[in-house]
Structure formats: C-alpha cells, structure tokens
Chain A
C-alpha cells in the first residue's frame, strides 16, 4: 500500500456525510420527540441503541461550535447540552438506507451487544461512568460502517476474502486496504473531536495494551467485543471469535468469578434487547 493510496482512502472516509440508521430506532426517536412529555433520559436510552445516531450526537456536541471540543462522551450529557432543537435537526437530517440496513443488521446487533457487554464489564469492576464504556463499545466498529458507505467497491472484496481465506475481517481489511477499521476509527475520532477516552477505546480495541492514556477503556471494549462474539450475538463481519489477550484481564483485575457474573447478566440482557428487533 502506497502512502498516496492511504491518503486517498482517508480523504474518502472522512468525507462521510450520511450514514445509514436503523429505521426502527429513527421512527421511535421521532415519535418520542413529538411527545412534549418525553424526557432526555428516554431519548438518550434509545439513541444508545444506534451507533450512527450516537456518533452523530457526539460529533455534534464535541464540535468547536459549542466551545468544548473533546469533552463529552456521554449521550445523556450530550443531549442536555445540545437541547431538543438541535436533536430534532439531527434526526431530520438522518437518512435511512434500506438496502444497506439489511446487509448490516448483524453489525448493528454486534455493536449493541458490545455496548451492553462493555458497560457490564465496567459496572462489575466498579469503574466510574460505566455508560461511557458502553458508548465506546457501541462505537468500536463504526469504522466498518463508514468504510462500507464511503468505499462501497471494497465491501464485496472484503467479504469474499474473509470467506475464501477464512480470516478475520480485520485481517482481510489489512490485506486489501493496508489498514483496518481500528485505523478508520482513529481518523474519525480525531476528525470529529471525540473525547480521548472514546477515541483510544475504539482505536485500540484490537490491541488494547497499546492505548496510552485510557488503556482501561481499550481493555474493557476488547473484552466486551470478545464476550459478544462468544455469545454469537450479532455479527462483526466474520465467523471468528477474536483472540482474547489475557493481559487485559490482569490489567483490569477481572477474575473468573466476575467474568461468570458478567456472562449471567449478559445472557439476560441480550434476550431483552433482541425484543427490540433490528430488522
């Protein structure tokens, strides 16, 4: 991969304007916004079920226009700071790509699963602000969505490569493009002024020990991603369970007993969300 090619891909990725959103979530948020009795908590909860809406909200609140770039990593806080007016504007400007949605339902489920799992790991460990770990989990594969939209010609080749060579999606991306979705995440996080905890978590979820300042975030999302795949909840683009780096458990102080309790809670939580229905 030449540097020129990479710069060109980066440019195309960052030019992203529209990302597909789950029609169901979008409809439901729209309905809630019309009801004057709706609280920000209700809307925030719904938005955290959609990685694209969540990313949009965080991108907006962390933009220099509001005067505090890189500060806000909670959807609930973002909604308080943006206000209903702006949220309504965001919803209006969000489109539904039906074909894309069908092809990506697996990824959506996987992302929501990872959000739940990351939040649960953080809660079990007694970490501060567990919902911010959940947001990081939700957004950990955002790069895959953005690449699919911005580099549509690459998608079938990637899928083909994963199938024929039986490799992970990340390996296929690296083979074909020279970089993975983790790199795309890093570009997006920088371009959108996302806070450093979210940025490091989504950029290093495959190699969490390389995260410099927010190693805990990267480790939690790494484990969240692993657990979601173990449960086979959703699909990240391949059939493999990513390798769990044992050092991450040590670093977080996560023991067997805790892991079992997380697994128990997750199996209930996954059952609950599947009612939401993504198709």
Chain B
C-alpha cells in the first residue's frame, strides 16, 4: 500500500471511462479505505471538477466518447498547477504497434489492456511513488525536500521514537554567492550536501535521513547516541574541504571582500557550518512545529560563534 493512501483518509482518485467492465475491474483492486474512485463516463464531465478540485490520482481510458484520453492528459499536464497530478493512461495493447510518438506523451505511465489486477496495482503505486519523489526532490542536490522532511519528522514523533534532528546551514554563504556568483554558490551547496549525506550514512541506523529544505538549509536525522560524533565529523570535514572552493588568494588570506546587506564593502571569513540539534527523548516532542521552533532558538546560539560548530538540545523529557 502506498503511504499516501489512508494517511488523511483514502486517496481521492478519478477514473474516466465509458467501459463498465473496466470500471468494475479497477474498483475491485483496492479496498475503499485505500482508494476512493470518482467515476466519469465522459471527459467533459470530469474536466471542470478536475480543474477546481484536482484528485490525487487520475486514471483515464484512452478512448472516450467526447475526446481522446491523450487530449485530456495533455490538458491537465500543460498547466503547472495540475502537473503534479499522477496520471495513468489505459489503452489497448495494439496501440503499441501503432504510430504513437511516446516521447510526446504527457501521461506518467500507461497500462495496456487487458491487464491483471496485480499489474495495475503495481503500476499505479509505482507512479504515485515516482511522482512524490520527483516533485519533492531539491532540483540542485536531488535530496528530499520539505514535504518528505515534514512527513519523516511527523511520522517519528507519532511513533514516539527517540531521535536527534540536525538543522544545518552555512555561515557567510551569501557573501560567497555574491562574490563568486550563483554557479560557484551551487558548487558549495553540492559539497555541503555530499558531506552531510556521507557523514550521516557513515553512522548506521534506521534513522539516518538527510533532506534539503532549500538554499543553504539542510536537515538530517540520526539516533541520539550518534549525533554528537556525527556533528564533530561534519564540522571537521566541512572546515577541511571548504577552502578548495575559494580562489587561491582568498584561500591564502582566509577571507573574502564582498558587500554586506547594506551594500557596504566588508571582509567575510570563509564559510562555516552551524548545526542545531533537537532531540526527541522519551516522546519529549509533541509536534513538528515544536521541533523547528527549538531548532531556531538553538541556531541563534550556534551562530554566535563565527566558526563551524554545533549546539545540542539538552532538555530532558
């Protein structure tokens, strides 16, 4: 079962087909607690509802009485606000041997009729997975983004698992970006992402997770007992590697000259990494917002030191 089913009630899906037999087969594949189908026999009837209240999944027959399934999919996919709707097109097997230009197809997957229930189920769930991964991933680092991060944290709070959550960001990243430009800034972010991922992974455990909130903000999770050695290793690796990203003369000097927020010329030290660690001990965290609020307080403390450092939340449950 895909996690998006049942989390907030059953997954709301549209099924568009004039073929009763096909509709009945699809309806029988998932129990109604997992997927709730709204059935349309014509595309026209579905479009308005699609545009005002888009479903979490769209399955459409290729042959419809009023337009082709392909046209319907194109209509949905050409609008950025509907693009994220996972869309599966069902068509007769013989289409494979026709003239279809698959590179132009906007659907996220196809299912060829006749099909077995298991095959249909597998394809739809893979499509849901693929869509959630690709939509949430940070375009630069390909790390999971906010939706996945929040889901991960909520899930672990709900299970009352002990875990440590690190919020990392880079000091003086803006000055670096301003002086060297976006593409060098992206290099530095890629470097930071690699260091965080490899350091977190080098501590085994089911909790190891890294996400990229955006910009120079990263989140990672580890078991409570490994988070401190991981922070130490992270800080050491970052400080050792970061000079390679500066021009020779700036590296020698150990600082760059750039403009501050008010447009005044100022000297900035090399980038450093600041980490605030929030701990969930014996269910001490109640909800996601609490975790991020504590992290922001700790971050202030971590930022007082211009060098790379980490601050670990010491509250007891």
The docked-state distance in angstroms from the alpha carbon of A72 to that of B251 is 14
Contact A66 B252, CB 8 Å, known A80-B237, A81-B241, A83-B201: no
Residues 221-262 of B contacting A (Cβ, < 8 Å): 237, 240-241, 244-245, 248, 251-252
Whether B190 sits at the interface, judged by CB under 8 Å, is yes
Contact A128 B252, CB 8 Å, known A73-B244, A84-B201, A84-B202: yes
Whether B162 sits at the interface, judged by CB under 8 Å, is no
Contact A72 B198, CB 8 Å, known A66-B190, A81-B191: no
Minimum CB distance partner of B184 in chain A: A68
Are A83 and B197 neighbours in the complex by a CB distance under 8 Å? yes
**What is the minimal beta-carbon distance from A27 to any residue of chain B, in angstroms?**
23
Size of the A side of the interface (Cβ < 8 Å), in residues, is 19
Are A80 and B195 neighbours in the complex by a CB distance under 8 Å? yes
The docked-state distance in angstroms from the alpha carbon of A68 to that of B244 is 10
Whether B186 sits at the interface, judged by CB under 8 Å, is yes
Are B197 and A80 neighbours in the complex by a CB distance under 8 Å? no
Whether A247 sits at the interface, judged by CB under 8 Å, is no
Residues 222-268 of A contacting B (Cβ, < 8 Å): none
**What is the minimal beta-carbon distance from A44 to any residue of chain B, in angstroms?**
12
Are A81 and B194 neighbours in the complex by a CB distance under 8 Å? yes
Task: Note all chain A residues with C-beta closer than 8 A to B245.
Answer: 68, 71
Contact A77 B201, CB 8 Å, known A67-B190, A71-B187, A83-B194: no
The docked-state distance in angstroms from the alpha carbon of A256 to that of B179 is 43
Whether A16 sits at the interface, judged by CB under 8 Å, is no
Task: Note all chain B residues with C-beta closer than 8 A to A68.
Answer: 187, 190-191, 245
Task: Note all chain A residues with C-beta closer than 8 A to B195.
Answer: 80-81
Task: Note all chain A residues with C-beta closer than 8 A to B252.
Answer: 128
CB-based A-B contact count at 8 angstroms: 52
Residues 17-72 of A contacting B (Cβ, < 8 Å): 36, 66-68, 71-72
Residues 169-211 of B contacting A (Cβ, < 8 Å): 186-187, 190-191, 194-195, 197-199, 201-202, 204
Task: Note all chain A residues with C-beta closer than 8 A to B198.
Answer: 80-84
Minimum CB distance partner of A132 in chain B: B244
Minimum CB distance partner of B201 in chain A: A83
Task: Note all chain A residues with C-beta closer than 8 A to B244.
Answer: 71-74, 77, 195
Minimum CB distance partner of B238 in chain A: A80
Which has the most chain B C-beta neighbours within 10 Å: A36, A66, A81, A213? A81
Are B204 and A77 neighbours in the complex by a CB distance under 8 Å? no
Task: Note all chain B residues with C-beta closer than 8 A to A66.
Answer: 190, 194
Are A36 and B194 neighbours in the complex by a CB distance under 8 Å? no
Task: Note all chain B residues with C-beta closer than 8 A to A213.
Answer: 248
Are A67 and B241 neighbours in the complex by a CB distance under 8 Å? no
**What is the minimal beta-carbon distance from B223 to any residue of chain A, in angstroms?**
15
Residues of A within 8 A of B (CB): 36, 66-68, 71-74, 76-77, 80-85, 128, 195, 213
Residues of B within 8 A of A (CB): 140, 186-187, 190-191, 194-195, 197-199, 201-202, 204, 237, 240-241, 244-245, 248, 251-252
A-B contact pairs, 5 of them (CB 8 A): A67-B140, A81-B191, A83-B202, A195-B244, A213-B248
